[in-house]
């Protein structure tokens, strides 16, 4: 670039080389930027040009429509003083309603109207010379000549009347078309506020993504996670996932829930790994959280699913086997993702699945066990621990006697009338019997229950197929007898109840056991 290329370059050269007082005059001009650092040979340009380039040379050329550029730039200076900000964008961006494009368009329309009126005056003068339109023709022609002269002079001063008045002027390219890839911005704006132009923004994105630069932009980056989701037990834990993206693409990872925390890999450039920690889930219901990873414009989602706090129950709390032993199968009920294991507490019980004498699973499942053959004349019992549950296994005696006991139901229906002519409210509830850790129940309500009917219903429940005992009823007394023989059949025996505690202070029916356990069982 030389000082003779255009008027702006000449001003810069004079300001840098001539110095005061001329330099001071130029520096005081309000329309001139601080261009000392951009003059040829300046320390700034020397330092800037000292940086090595690792990419192919390219240039961005702003092919700005030059017509009426002077009106556009003049408007940028005057608009804040003559247009109230409340009625127009206070930034006066080129593309806004009050921006320089609108002004330039208005000047162009004015020029076209004057030109049309001039042609009409000339036409009328030719065909109607008596009207004498020469004065009007001279006046209109003077307006057009003045507008054209100002426009030509401005563009000559600013760009040497080159092809551009945009980001990098064509008349002062450091990378001419013979040595660099050209990226033209057709329709770009003039120098002032050119960076606000959507034309510039779109072309700059294309330049950065091109083969010449290969610099990733927000829109050109994409993100993929492997895996994309993760399931974990209620106890929580740690894990990680891989984030794949293009070389040079910046990203950040953010958790959307407090119980899911990122331990490493909160941000990075190019592909990377994100590690996270999941807190224990104290609730009984499952929960879901996500980690968003991306650049704000493009992102991907990683999902963590955690089951609720685990609870366990068994299909049976007691398994009774005939003398000589045998096998049994029990189902473990729990939530999806919950881990369980079964461990025998005695050597004569073995599990038919699992290693080291244990069985395990995730979610609901079942296991099978075998009780070894022993002395038929002797009864024995043992337990299997399944998480928080205890399974009791009983092997009976072939020569002994069974354990027996009774339950006596007492009570009668209770009611009260809360107000005059109001319907009666009857007490309702249930009576429970727990035998060898297995619970049986009978419910009651209304006017019809009696102690005998409640006893009959409770005995029917006790006689279920999985029950370790059988029951008979005589009035309100239930007689219980173990289905197997032996001393170990003196099962524990207890009762309880529930009732309408909102309207009553005591239950309508209760049951009393003959003792804390069945008696009479011998080997």
pLDDT digits (tens, 9 = 90+) for 206-227: 666 655 565 566 667 889 999 9
Domain span at 350? 313-376+383-395
The domain that holds 387 is classified in CATH as: 2.60.40.10
Cα 424 to Cα 188: distance, rounded to the nearest angstrom = 89
Q: Give the position of tokens 């990226």.
A: 183
Instruction: Look at residue 5 and tell me whether its pLDDT is greater than 70.
Output: no
Model confidence at 165, in pLDDT bands (50, 70, 90)? Answer: very low
Same domain (yes/no): 416, 481: yes
Instruction: Report pLDDT for 438.
Output: 87
Residue 367 lies in a domain: yes
Instruction: Look at residue 309 and tell me whether its pLDDT is greater than 90.
Output: no
Mean pLDDT, range 13-41, rounded to an integer: 54
Q: For residue 341, with 0-12 CB atoms within 10 Å meaning exposed, 13-18 middle and 19 or more buried, which class applies?
A: middle
Instruction: Report pLDDT for 88.
Output: 66
Instruction: Look at residue 349 and tell me whether its pLDDT is greater than 50.
Output: yes
Q: Which of 520, 233, 516 is nearest to 387 (CA)?
A: 233
Same domain (yes/no): 334, 262: no
Residue 518 lies in a domain: no
Model confidence at 34, in pLDDT bands (50, 70, 90)? Answer: very low
Instruction: Report pLDDT for 427.
Output: 94
Average pLDDT, the chain: 80
Same domain (yes/no): 344, 276: no
Q: For residue 166, with 0-12 CB atoms within 10 Å meaning exposed, 13-18 middle and 19 or more buried, which class applies?
A: buried
Mean pLDDT, range 340-368, rounded to an integer: 82
Same domain (yes/no): 62, 48: no
Which of the residue ranges 51-60, 270-279, 350-359 has the most confident prediction, judged by mean pLDDT? 270-279
Residue 521 lies in a domain: no
Residue 520 lies in a domain: no
Cα 513 to Cα 517: distance, rounded to the nearest angstrom = 8
Q: How many domains does the chain have?
A: 5
Q: Which of 511, 512, 514 is nearest to 431 (CA)?
A: 511
Q: Among 257, 279, 306, where does a domain finish?
A: 306
Residue 216 lies in a domain: no
Residue 217 lies in a domain: no
CA angle 41/1/49 to nearest 5° reads 45
Neighbours of 470 (CB within 10 A): 14
Same domain (yes/no): 157, 33: no
Percentage of the chain exceeding pLDDT 90: 38
Residue 269 lies in a domain: yes
| Least confident span in 166-180, 297-311, 445-459 | 166-180
Residue 523 lies in a domain: no
Same domain (yes/no): 156, 22: no
Same domain (yes/no): 62, 201: yes
Same domain (yes/no): 88, 132: yes
Same domain (yes/no): 33, 71: no
Cα 82 to Cα 455: distance, rounded to the nearest angstrom = 99
Same domain (yes/no): 420, 482: yes
Cα Rg of the chain, angstroms = 48
Same domain (yes/no): 198, 60: yes
Same domain (yes/no): 138, 17: no
Instruction: Look at residue 30 and tell me whether its pLDDT is greater than 50.
Output: no
């Amino acid at each position: 670039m030389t000082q003779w290329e255009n008027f702006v370059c000449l001003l810069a050269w004079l300001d840098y080389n001539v110095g005061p007082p001329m330099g001071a005059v130029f520096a005081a001009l309000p329309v001139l930027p601080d261009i000392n650092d951009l003059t040829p040979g300046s320390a700034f340009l020397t330092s800037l040009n000292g940086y090595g380039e690792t990419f192919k040379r390219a240039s961005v050329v702003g092919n700005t429509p030059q017509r009426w550029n002077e009106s556009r730039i003049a408007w940028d200076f005057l608009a804040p003083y003559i247009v109230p900000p409340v009625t127009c964008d206070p930034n006066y961006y080129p593309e806004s309603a009050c921006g320089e494009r609108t002004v330039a368009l208005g000047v162009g329309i004015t020029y076209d109207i004057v030109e049309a009126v001039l042609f009409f005056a000339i036409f009328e003068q030719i065909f109607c010379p008596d009207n004498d339109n020469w004065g009007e023709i001279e006046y209109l022609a003077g307006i057009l000549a003045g507008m054209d002269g100002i426009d030509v002079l401005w563009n000559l001063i600013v760009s040497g009347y080159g092809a551009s008045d945009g980001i990098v002027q064509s008349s002062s390219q450091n990378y001419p078309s013979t040595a660099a890839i050209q990226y033209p911005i057709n329709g770009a704006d003039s120098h002032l506020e050119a960076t606000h132009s959507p034309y510039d923004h779109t072309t700059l994105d294309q330049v950065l993504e091109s083969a010449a630069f290969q610099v990733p932009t927000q829109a050109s980056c994409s993100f993929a996670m492997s895996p994309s989701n993760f399931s974990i037990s209620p106890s929580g834990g740690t894990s990680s996932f891989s984030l794949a993206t293009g070389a040079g693409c910046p990203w950040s990872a953010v958790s959307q829930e407090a119980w899911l925390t990122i331990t490493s890999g909160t941000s990075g450039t190019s592909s990377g790994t994100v590690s996270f920690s999941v807190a224990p889930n104290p609730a009984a219901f499952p929960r879901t959280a996500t980690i968003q990873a991306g650049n704000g414009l493009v992102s991907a989602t990683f999902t963590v699913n955690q089951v609720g706090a685990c609870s366990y129950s068994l299909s049976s709390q007691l398994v009774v086997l005939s003398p000589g032993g045998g096998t049994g199968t029990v189902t473990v009920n729990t939530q999806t993702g919950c881990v369980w294991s079964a461990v025998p507490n005695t050597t004569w019980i073995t599990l038919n699945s699992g290693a080291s004498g244990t069985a395990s699973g995730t979610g609901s499942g079942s296991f099978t066990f075998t009780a070894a053959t022993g002395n038929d004349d002797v009864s024995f019992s043992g337990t299997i621990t399944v998480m928080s549950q205890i399974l009791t296994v009983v092997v009976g005696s072939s020569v002994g006697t069974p354990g027996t006991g009774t339950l006596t139901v007492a009570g009668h229906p209770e009611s009260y009338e809360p107000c005059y002519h109001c319907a009666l409210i009857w007490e309702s509830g249930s009576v429970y019997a727990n035998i060898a850790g297995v619970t049986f129940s009978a419910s009651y309500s209304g006017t019809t229950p009696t102690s005998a009917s409640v006893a009959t219903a409770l005995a029917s429940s006790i006689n279920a197929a999985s029950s370790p005992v059988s029951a008979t009823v005589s009035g309100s007394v239930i007689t219980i007898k173990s289905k197997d023989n032996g001393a170990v059949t003196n099962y524990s025996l207890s009762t309880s109840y529930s009732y309408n505690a909102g309207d009553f202070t005591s239950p309508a029916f209760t049951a009393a056991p003959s003792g804390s356990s069945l008696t009479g069982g011998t080997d």
